[in-house]
Amino acid sequence: MIKIPVIKAVCVSLVLAGIALAPNAQAVPLRAPAAPTSVSCLPTPHPVTTEQTLALFELAARKIGAVRTTGAKRYPFGALHSSPDYAYTGATGWTSGFFAAELWLLYQRTQDPHWLEAARAQTRGLMKLATYTGSHDLGFMVGLPTGLGATLDPGPEQQAAYAEARITAARTLSQRWNPRIRALKSSEYGGKWGLIIDSAMNAPLLIEAGQAIGGPEGDELVYRGTEHMLTLARDFVRPDGSTFHRMAFNPKTGALIGPIPGQGLTGDSTWARGQAWALNGFTRAYELTGNAELLDAALRTAAFWVSKVPPGCIPAWDFNIDNSRAPRDSSAASIAADGLLSLRRVVGDTAADYGAYADVTLGLLTTPWMTTARSVNPGILLQQTLNVPSDPREGSYVWGDYYLLRALSAA
Ligand code: GLY
């Protein structure tokens, strides 16, 4: 594992190594509040440049092109910093859709048929999960790769198959609906009916599928997906825009019981990746529905993020940690950057600052310091964490890599 030095040492070594501050680097006049949490920053923040984006996609093509995707466990998951090999999962792992999604983005950028074939092959393996009832993450596992395929695949037959898989997956996910809680069950937490903020990324699949099929069934899917997001907005977003990670409910009465510890520091803290999932998911749900409460949730969770993390910085894995040696979570930064760019696109001028903020975050995430350009690691983006309470080691993971590529595609 690469040891992460203290912030000052990182900044000094960056300058000594002459790393990747683009010739047109410029200080960015965005809010740069004193950070109450631990952050790791570029000495001179600057928006991502075309050269950095090109270099990152070249790196991605090289790394992704070398990955083996055959055998029973053929879905890349992640690799600790010094590992030359990915850990893999089967199709039912919550991360199984991200590598396929990365392949789709490489195809989108290059139009190279090699990437199309690879993306099709990975996506095909995931489409049979559309009836899988064992996970609330069907949005990530099926919705994400088939959504990209439906847009990018030139084949009409394939497009129809992706569209059908999306609708089936939405119907399957919809079986988790509890009308008293007005939400789709995520899982059992501490033996209780539980909801998780990450589900903000899955529920929009119901809205998309419902809008596609229309009629009474489509209306019901839209209703359930929208209500799920409103429940998250009501019960997970605090007045300051920060978020809880997991909550338990009484499934008979619908009553909120309270927070349950998960991947964050405590049940009451703000897990950095959860905050990023929230702002990204609320933005998408607002884009689909035009619901003002969802816009409010998107803007408030985004405002919390940028008030805690100055531009060009990566947060520690939880916002309640104040320790410069704490593990980072750059995947939270890439998910947030993608969400902030979406917010700028969807809301326009009101969110213009957020887009500029995202450009600077991408300026950081594409420096060689942050990527695997000089390492044997098979992924792309370093300094990601999975679940620090059970394993504090940093690595590259497919979700952080995917959202980095997606944000760069949109920047
Ligand atoms: N959805 C699980 C995670 O973000 O780790």
Q: Which two tokens stand for residue 151?
A: 């847009």
Q: What is the whole-number distance in angstroms between the Cα of residue 388 and the centre of ligand 1? A: 12
Closest CA to 237 of 285, 166, 175, 180: 285
Q: What is the whole-number distance in angstroms between the Cα of residue 138 and the centre of ligand 1? A: 13
- The pLDDT score that the predictor gives to residue 70 is 82
- The pLDDT score that the predictor gives to residue 10 is 30
Pocket flag, ligand 1, residue 94 (CB < 6 Å): yes
- CA angle at residue 71 from 69 to 76, to 5 degrees? 40
CA distance 163 to 159: 6
Pocket flag, ligand 1, residue 185 (CB < 6 Å): no
- The pLDDT score that the predictor gives to residue 33 is 45
Q: Where are the domains of the chain?
A: 1-66+309-411
State residue 41 phi and psi, 5-degree precision: -125, 155
- The pLDDT score that the predictor gives to residue 235 is 98
Atom of ligand 1 nearest to the CA of 196: 1
Pocket flag, ligand 1, residue 338 (CB < 6 Å): no
Strand partners, 192: 189
Pocket flag, ligand 1, residue 98 (CB < 6 Å): no
Helix (H) or strand (E) holding 89: strand 87-89
Per-run averaged pLDDT (10 residues), the chain, 411 residues:
29 29 38 55 89 98 93 90 95 98 98 97 96 98 98 97 98 98 96 97 98 98 98 98 98 98 96 98 98 97 94 93 90 98 91 90 95 97 96 96 97 84
Q: Which two tokens stand for residue 46?
A: 């600057």
Instruction: Give SS3 for 72.
Output: coil
CA distance 94 to 410: 24
Pocket flag, ligand 1, residue 198 (CB < 6 Å): yes
Residue with token string 């990566």: 314
Q: What is the whole-number distance in angstroms between the Cα of residue 356 and the centre of ligand 1? A: 26
Q: What is the whole-number distance in angstroms between the Cα of residue 198 and the centre of ligand 1? A: 6
Q: Which two tokens stand for residue 15?
A: 């300058």
Q: Which two tokens stand for residue 122?
A: 């990975």
CA distance 334 to 300: 18
Give nearest CA residue, ligand 1 atom 2. 198
What is this structure's pTM?
0.91
Closest CA to 279 of 326, 232, 315: 232
State residue 33 phi and psi, 5-degree precision: -70, 155
Give nearest CA residue, ligand 1 atom 1. 198
DSSP state of 271: B
Atom of ligand 1 nearest to the CA of 399: 4
- CA angle at residue 37 from 33 to 43, to 5 degrees? 60
- The pLDDT score that the predictor gives to residue 193 is 98
Q: What is the whole-number distance in angstroms between the Cα of residue 199 and the centre of ligand 1? A: 9
Instruction: Write the CB contacts of 209 (distance below 8 Å, at least 6 apart in sequence).
Output: 166, 167, 169, 170, 171, 218, 221
CB 36 within 8 A of CB 308: yes
Q: Which amino acid is at 17?
A: A
- The pLDDT score that the predictor gives to residue 37 is 55
